[in-house]
Amino acid sequence: MHPKWHKRTTLIPMGRDESTETSLSPYLSKLGVWAFSIGCSIGWGSFIVTSSSYLRQAGAWGSILGLLLGALIMIVIARNYHYMVNCFPDAGGAYTYAKEVFGHDHGFLTAWFLFLTYIAVFWANVTSLPLFTQYFAGDILKIGFHYTLFDYDIYLGEAALSILAIILTVLACMRSRKWTMRAMVAMSALFTISILAAFIACASRLGSPAFSIDPGFVPNASELSQIALIASISPWAFIGFENVSHSAPEFNFPHTQLFKILLASIVFTTILYIAVMLMSTMVHPPQYANWLEYISDLGNLSGIEALPAFYAAYALLGDGGVALLMLALLALVLTSLIGNVIALSRMAYALAKDDILPGRLAYVNKQGSPQNALLAIGAVSFVVPFIGRTAIGWIVDVTTIGAIIIYAIVSASTFKIARARGERTERTTGVLGAAIMIAFGCYLLISGLISSDVMEPESYFLFAIWGLLGFAAFRILLAHDKKKRFGRSTIVWVGLLSLVMFVGFTWMDQTLMGSERTADSAISSSYDVNTETNETVASNKTMLHEQIQDLQKRRLITMLMAAGLFTLASILLITNFAHVSRWARESDDKLGKTWLVIYTNPITGLPSMMRFLETAPEVAERIRENGGTPALIAFRLMGYKNHIENYGHENGNKILRAIGKELVSAFGRENCAHASDEHFYVIAPLEDVEPKTFNVFEACSAYHESLRLPLKAGVFPCQPDDDIATTGINRARTACDSHSKSWESELLWYDDELGAEVKMRSYVLETVDEAIEHRWIRPYYQAEVDAHTHRICGAEALARWIDPNVGFLSPAQFIPVLEEAGVLHKVDLHMIDCVTADLARKKSQGLPVVPISVNISMDDLAKFDVTHEISKRADEAGVERSLLHIEFTESAAISDAGMLQEAVDELKAAGFEVWMDDFGSGYSSLNSLKNFNFDVVKLDMEFLRDDKNPRTWDVIAGIVLMVQKLGMRTLAEGVETEEQATRLAEAGCDILQGYYFAKPLSLEEIDAKYKDEKTASRK
């Protein structure tokens, strides 16, 4: 498996000012992702086409069955997207997956067709707004200058509406991501409910006896072929559901939940399509014999009659039904505009981060949006309203092929990674998705040679032109590719050339067939009109001669254009590869010079890690042949980075060279490697490890004795099944780093206990989000009692992790791990949520409540506004702030007194009590205590470990007295005996806590105990 498929690293390309960009931050909820997914799946075109073209080509049953089959296929594609998002949770969607799995050439090709697909859908919807007004408000916008392009009338008023929509969409996406998400959720809910409500109302009004969808299929055509046709264009019907993959870094929930959301989107989309299709068959104008005859004649109708679903709503529900569908259609258009602009901007952001587009497009504004990318998309779209719907329709047709290419690449990426990882389910969905998309593509292209019903000839021509432009853009990219990332995949560009040529041939064939039909129609009309006389015969011959000449002229022009396409594509391909070949020759010249650099560390002259990984398996095999056990040793010079900061790199290099010399002397040069900086690796027979390693320690200690930089060595004995490059290296390094805090040279062995510890650490970090979501982590409450009356006056919320897979995890197993990884704030916020929810529930049930203390780490102060977040959660739950006591450890006062003091003051001003926890745990500073205005100081349980020593109680009494004089109360932890409780009360302690009074209990145990006590008191 390729290393980059295992661990993700974010790099900032050289030459870009890091201060001008920030990363995309999470904001998208699960409901928001569903709204974006379904909102991008359905737009004006799909709403109208499914209720007209689908039914006209395959009938009602053919359309429904084909759509259901297409939905099942899209579920496979959704599974593949889910897998890829979890492998690469970065912006860019399919572009990122193709780039990471197959290389930059595939990535560029994917991005090229992604852009065409998404921008075409955006353009189609933005230019549908004038159509919307035409259908429902007549010619109100047909004002200003007017011209005709491709037989479509374009007015200034209609163009102005589209431009206004572009501006407002871009501005909305720039200024507020959260409000945009809320608008998407509201509008997606609106069109879903409206369409379903209209369908149910129409069906109930019509009644089951009158509701018939006959004919189920179009006569005189194979039923199976009709179903296959609709299924094959299903990528067009669902394209957009995957747009959310471009916003993967912006999810505020685990990516593992994405598939369920995509599945829900596909299911709802399918239901809505079927509802619209069935509505379109319910009612037809009286001049038509059935709904199929009506829908086949839509081109000759206008207004509501030209929209079958709207006509049915009007006929059965009146103006209210039309208004309901109008709202739904407008919401569909707006969600499609927003969703596609968001997806395009995130893809542009990813391309800019990779230095394919200008770096300024990666700029993220204060609202978290890629501002310049959004502005660029808007600027590119301004010309579209002046092109007209006819040309836009040709471009939109191309999205079917574009979607098939994109889905095929994503599926192939899924298959490749799943096969490398040995994951059978995704390997199956990957190969299945790729095979189906290839089959669909072949079906559409071959059908295009037979029939012109699949796509217009102009659409094929535009696709070929877009392919040519891709070659040209790639040539420009090659010229500026200083990192030599492109031009490495011949098959990509030969495949694109073949596709361009095939599509060009299809365009030529359809154009010629269209010319022949035009000539045939003209000749037939002439013979139908004229009677057979000498004059008409002569006239017909003249007309026939003219038609033949015109046909020959069109044939010549078409063939010349096709030849021009093929020639230009070939020239671009040849020049691209000429450039790559020249670069390859230059690289070959440099290869001999760089070999030594690649396989040799320049500081020590030892073999590099790359060379070591090539030779180590052979060395291991020789050791086994001689009856030994190969062992990997990871060496690390501790304190190296601080040393070079103080004494310089040259001084540090001298030490590294000295260590390298000793390793070579002990183990032999071919068995050693200098990986980087302070890291070295050795492979040797197990019996040589201890004596030779200690010899190295002793020899190295002679260097720079005053500095005493320790050398750690971690050892892992390799078994025959262990892979040296992964298992061996990682486990030796794990052993080496296991005692990184101790400042002495050590020989450390990897064993099962250490392996279990590392495994548990990984498990904790990988599942903490899931544990929070499913409440595997939850509070246990330990009572705090008045020292004199022993009545409960509060409780401390202690985090407990009850895991269904590994059982109970003690706080010592997960708190330090999360704190070191910088994610403990997730648990702290979760605990506050749990505590406020528990307090709110007990209050609502009329049960008694006491203040609860919760722990906050210093890491939280750096991660979020503690006062704001705790206040918000308490207020939202309806819990008085006085019921929450916030605890900081004493070590926090030492680490950053200024930050802590500010937090304490803010929390107290907001109405919370603030306590110091673990006072006396090893960092005691009476001087620092006077600087903080805590309400309570908690004495660490360590004070009571030596409770038989009389001086212990003198110390406790002194601390209690001092704290009281500072105006604070005291709480003693760890009380386990009656004698301890009595003496603490005598010393003046205010509050007690410990197992003598109560062990930590879950809320369920507390409720059960309270119920039992209440029952007993009644008896």
Distance CA 79, CA 412 (A): 13
The beta-strand segments (E) located in 577-691 are 630-637, 672-676, 679-685
CB 279 within 8 A of CB 312: yes
The vertex-423 CA angle with 418 and 424, nearest 5°, equals 105
Residue 728: phi and psi, rounded to 5, are -60, -55
Other beta carbons within 10 angstroms of residue 392's beta carbon come to 22
CB 725 within 8 A of CB 691: no
Q: Tell me which DSSP letter residue 726 carries.
A: I
With a CB cutoff of 8 Å and minimum separation 6, the contacts of 489 are 102, 103, 105, 106
Please provide the DSSP assignment of 526-551 as one string. HHHHS-S-HHHHHHHHHHHHHHHHHH
CB 79 within 8 A of CB 429: yes
Q: How far is CA 738 from CA 639, 712, 751, 938, in A?
A: 15, 10, 11, 33
Token pair in block for residue 256:
């593992």
Distance CA 608, CA 627 (A): 28
Distance CA 56, CA 453 (A): 11
Query: Choosing from 820, 973, 986, 1013, which is the catalytic residue?
Result: 973
CA-nearest of 234, 254, 269 to 85 is 254
Three-state DSSP string of 408-457: HHHHHHHHHHHHHHCCHHHHHHHHHHHHHHHHHHHHHHHHHHHCCCCCCH
Question: Which amino acid is located at 1003 in the chain?
Answer: L
CA-nearest of 440, 419, 422 to 430 is 419
Distance CA 993, CA 980 (A): 11
Question: Which amino acid is located at 661 in the chain?
Answer: K
What is the separation of C-alpha 925 from the centre of its chain, rounded to a whole number of angstroms?
47
Distance CA 918, CA 971 (A): 10
What is the separation of C-alpha 142 from the centre of its chain, rounded to a whole number of angstroms?
43
Token pair in block for residue 722:
């262990």
Other beta carbons within 10 angstroms of residue 227's beta carbon come to 23
Strand partners, 630: 685
Token pair in block for residue 468:
């040519």
Cis ω on the peptide bond leading into residue 89 (within 30° of 0)?
no
Residue 973 bears catalytic tag: yes
CA-nearest of 309, 366, 395 to 126 is 395
Which pairing describes strands 913-919 and 936-939: parallel, antiparallel, or unpaired? parallel
With a CB cutoff of 8 Å and minimum separation 6, the contacts of 629 are 623, 685, 686, 717, 718
CA-nearest of 46, 77, 40, 44 to 63 is 46
CB 474 within 8 A of CB 493: yes
Question: Which amino acid is located at 535 in the chain?
Answer: E
Give the DSSP H/E element, type plus range, for residue 147: strand 146-149
Strand partners, 715: 633, 749
With a CB cutoff of 8 Å and minimum separation 6, the contacts of 3 are none
Length of the chain: 1019
Give the DSSP H/E element, type plus range, for residue 983: helix 978-986
CB 316 within 8 A of CB 308: no
Residues with active-site annotation = 973
